[in-house]
Amino acid sequence: MKKRRISSIYLIIVFALLYAPIFYLIFYSFNQGGDMNKFTGFTWEHYSALFADQRMIVIVLDTLLLALLSSVIATLVGTFGALGIAARKQKKMKSALLTLNNVLMVSPDVIIGASFLILFTSLGISLGFGSVLISHIAFSIPIVVLLVLPKVDELDPALLNAAQDLGATRWQTFSRVIIPFITPGIFSGFFMAFTYSLDDFAVTFFVTGNGFATLAVEIYSRARQGISLEINALSAVMFVFALILVVGYYFIDQYSRTRRQKRKHHQNETQNEGVMLP
């Protein structure tokens, strides 16, 4: 019993430490005094300053547009990539493709940023929104593949044969059988790609040039100049946004889990499944 208490306390401390900086930021976003040292009174003024800041709003919209565009394109390319990888018959070919796929997953951001910068310069692509978009698509593709691939592997070939036996065209099999089946994977891939793009600083910093800035780059240049409570207000807004995203992701995950469990349930009579993890 006593041990349990110690472990609960430990966990609480870890969580407190994890969240302290975030709540600290949000708390001082309501501070009347202009710094993060002493709370002198409650105010919304930093929020109104934030929403009146034209430059900031443009940057936020750009960042969202960038995240949306890059994740949609990365999801498309990645999904077809995953389907293609799964269709390879030779094991060697498959694992070679997967290894190449994972290179960008394990490479440090600085390397990705620096090498993309060399790539864009040698191809003569000017730095700006375009180069940032291309980079975001490029580093989001592997995570989409990794999240869609298990779903494709789960696909029962008998299902495809059945569809074809019942007279479905190739397109019908694809759109009515394959796509609905792998949709949960596609959605989680899209979500992950979206957050990768929103979160990225290092790669963007390398390939952004002078004219274009994402939120992360803007916060960096402002933070170098010192404290401005507008950034605190922004972080509060972003925390709420991240919360919504996480909850959204959680529900998608739960949804696909229950579907999987239901299916497992049906199969249980005929074959013995391994233990499902929670």
Partner 1 sequence: MKKTRSFFMVPYLAWIILFVIAPLILILYQSLTNNQGQWTLQNFQTYATSWTYLKMTLNSFWYALLITAVTLLISYPTAYILSKMKRQQLWLLLIILPTWINLLLKTYAFIGLLSRTGTVNQFLAFIGIGPRQLLFSDFSFLLVASYIEIPFMILPIYNAIVQLDPALVNASRDLGATNFQTFTKVVFPLTISGVKAGIQAVFIPSLSLFMITRLIGGNRVITLGTAIEEHFLTTMNWGMGSTIGVVLIVMMFIMMMLTNDRKKKRQEVLPNEEKTN
Residue 172, token pair as written in the block = 């019908």
Q: Between 266 and 276, name the residue whose CB sits nearer to partner 1.
A: 276
Closest listed residue to residue 86, CA positions, set 187, 160, 164, 32: 160
Task: Give yes or no for a contact between 151 and 181, defined as CB atoms under 8 angstroms apart.
Answer: yes
Q: Between 99 and 270, name the residue whose CB sits nearer to partner 1.
A: 99
Task: Give yes or no for a contact between 144 and 197, defined as CB atoms under 8 angstroms apart.
Answer: no
Q: Minimum distance between the CB of residue 14 and partner 1, rounded to whole angstroms?
A: 5
Q: Minimum distance between the CB of residue 218 and partner 1, rounded to whole angstroms?
A: 9
Q: Between 43 and 88, name the residue whose CB sits nearer to partner 1.
A: 88
Task: Give yes or no for a contact between 102 and 142, defined as CB atoms under 8 angstroms apart.
Answer: yes
Question: What does the alpha-carbon distance between residue 90 and residue 88 come to, in Å, rounded to a whole number?
Answer: 6
Task: Give yes or no for a contact between 22 and 234, defined as CB atoms under 8 angstroms apart.
Answer: no
Q: Minimum distance between the CB of residue 269 and partner 1, rounded to whole angstroms?
A: 25
Q: Between 129 and 242, name the residue whose CB sits nearer to partner 1.
A: 242
Q: Minimum distance between the CB of residue 143 and partner 1, rounded to whole angstroms?
A: 7
